[in-house]
Amino acid sequence: MANVEDKKSVLDPWGTTVVEDYDHLYEEFGIQKFKPLLPEIPNPSMYMRRGVIFGHRDFDRVLETMKQGGDFAVMSGIKPTGEFHLGTLMTAREIIYFQQQGAKAFYAIADIEAYEDNKLPFEETEKIAVGNVADLLALGFDPKNGYIYRQYTEHRVRNLAVHFGAGVTLATMKAIYGERHIGLYLSALVQAGDILMPQLKYFDGPKPTVVPVGVDQDAHLRLTRDLANKFRRKFKFVAPSSTYHKILKGLDGSPKMSKRNPMSYFTLNESSKSIAKKISNAFTGGRATVEEQKRLGGVPEICPIYEIEMCHFVEDDDDVVEVYNCCKCGSLLCGEHKARTKKIILKFVEDHQRKREKLVDKAREILGIK
Ligand code: SF4
């Protein structure tokens, strides 16, 4: 029998994140359950409705402001290390969702983190960032009510990081992040700057801010909330809130989609042929034979095909429930389901690529890159 120790999770923003059991994160890390807030949310997103967003820190504060039509912000960022994939798609859509609910939206191109963590030079990440911003715009981000910036060139973020450096000891950084090189600690302070920048006077001062991220990023929120308290007197910061989404399984059945494992994921700019092949070869929760599957039903809970559809590509909740039930009772077979999923995903990706192509110049203009 598994003991509590076996269920310990590792949440490392720069390494391996393992979540054996999401329920244990509430006890282990003090993350709050998202589900009880769901009935209060006027227009919950697909990720919220389906439990993909499972946890939060003080999201109630943002929710209250949102319901009263007050001033609030959404802030998140993505490392420019490559093309958008399903993980970054989720973060981008979460930012866009809150923007559509009235938030002033901030999107950080985390190029300092990409330098410190992935050793990617700034000239290279600048080029990658153009594509990522074109993706963000194609997904619906409205630049008129949003602010897109590179950490490396945003002096307000860097200035905040300098202040924060005086408010944190090496022992605290080690306790939160473990033993890391100084550059990673520095990039964590820069991210605290990202998270709190929306509250500077230049952006109309203190306000509730939600940071939607994968749960592997929780360490940054713990650090930033602590810094917000320490620097409250000087900046009047409101402690930032967060929402946490689950980590997606790899298409090949691995616990996590990973760039080191190309068969575990696809990007939004990959060829249709390559995506189709990855879906055809994907792991499923199906049985060894058709006869067994018809008799016993499949196991959607462990199936990446079900997860991808449910998380990203099927808007209608009834449709998701129907697929789940048909899988469970054995009336839906994996080959048939993969063919349907392929069709839905390829249509989305091809439409997205067409829109994105037209937005590359706009992305260059926003980033000030010729
Ligand atoms: S029928 Fe679909 S959801 Fe069920 S195990 Fe097969 S691929 Fe997964």
pLDDT digits (tens, 9 = 90+) for 220-242: 999 999 999 999 999 999 999 99
Atom 1, ligand 1: which residue's CA is nearest?
Answer: 334
The mean-pLDDT minimum among 47-56, 213-222, 255-264, 358-367 falls in: 255-264
Instruction: Decide: 344 and 320 in contact? Cβ < 8 Å.
Output: no
Instruction: Decide: 83 and 257 in contact? Cβ < 8 Å.
Output: no
- Give dist(CA 20, CA 95) in Å, integer: 27
Closest approach atom of ligand 1 to CA 303: 8
CA 188 to ligand 1 center in whole angstroms: 40
- The pLDDT value recorded for residue 336 is 96
Instruction: Decide: 193 and 159 in contact? Cβ < 8 Å.
Output: yes
Average pLDDT over residues 310-331: 95
**With 60 as the cut, is the pLDDT of residue 9 above it?**
yes
- Split at pLDDT 50, 70, 90, the class of 258 is confident
Instruction: Decide: 270 and 82 in contact? Cβ < 8 Å.
Output: no
Closest approach atom of ligand 1 to CA 297: 4
CA 175 to ligand 1 center in whole angstroms: 42
Domains in the chain, ordered, with CATH? 4-247 (3.40.50.620), 262-357 (1.10.240.10)
- Split at pLDDT 50, 70, 90, the class of 4 is very low
- The pLDDT value recorded for residue 18 is 67
Closest approach atom of ligand 1 to CA 306: 3
CA 48 to ligand 1 center in whole angstroms: 23
CA 336 to ligand 1 center in whole angstroms: 9
> Is residue 106 within a helix (H) or strand (E), and if so which, with residue range?
strand 104-109
- The pLDDT value recorded for residue 356 is 97
- The pLDDT value recorded for residue 15 is 74
Question: Which residues, listed in sequence order, are joined to residue 105 by a DSSP beta bridge?
Answer: 74, 146
Cα-Cα-Cα-Cα torsion 306, 309, 314, 320, nearest 10 degrees, comes to: 10
Chain centroid, CA 221 distance in Å: 14
Pocket of ligand 1 (CB under 6 A): 284-286, 298, 300, 303, 305-306, 327, 332-334, 337
Average pLDDT over residues 175-199: 96
Atom 4, ligand 1: which residue's CA is nearest?
Answer: 327
Average pLDDT over residues 349-367: 97
Average pLDDT over residues 307-327: 95
CA 87 to ligand 1 center in whole angstroms: 21
CA 119 to ligand 1 center in whole angstroms: 39
Pocket test for ligand 1, best of 306, 323, 340 (most atoms within 8 A of CB): 306
Kindly state the percentage of the chain with pLDDT values over 70.
Answer: 96
CA 253 to ligand 1 center in whole angstroms: 13
**Could you tell me where the DSSP H helices lie in the chain?**
22-29, 46-49, 59-67, 86-100, 111-118, 122-139, 155-165, 170-177, 182-196, 218-230, 232-235, 272-280, 290-296, 304-308, 317-329, 334-357, 360-367
Atom 6, ligand 1: which residue's CA is nearest?
Answer: 334
CA 323 to ligand 1 center in whole angstroms: 8
Of the candidates 185, 211, 187, which has an alpha carbon nearest to the alpha carbon of residue 198? 211
- The pLDDT value recorded for residue 324 is 96
pLDDT digits (tens, 9 = 90+) for 19-69: 777 888 888 888 999 999 999 999 999 999 999 999 999 999 999 999 999
Q: Hey, how many other C-beta atoms are within 10 angstroms of the C-beta on 250?
A: 17
* pTM confidence score: 0.93
- The pLDDT value recorded for residue 23 is 82
- Split at pLDDT 50, 70, 90, the class of 8 is low
Closest approach atom of ligand 1 to CA 282: 7
Kindly state the percentage of the chain with pLDDT values over 90.
Answer: 87
- Split at pLDDT 50, 70, 90, the class of 5 is very low
Average pLDDT over residues 245-256: 88
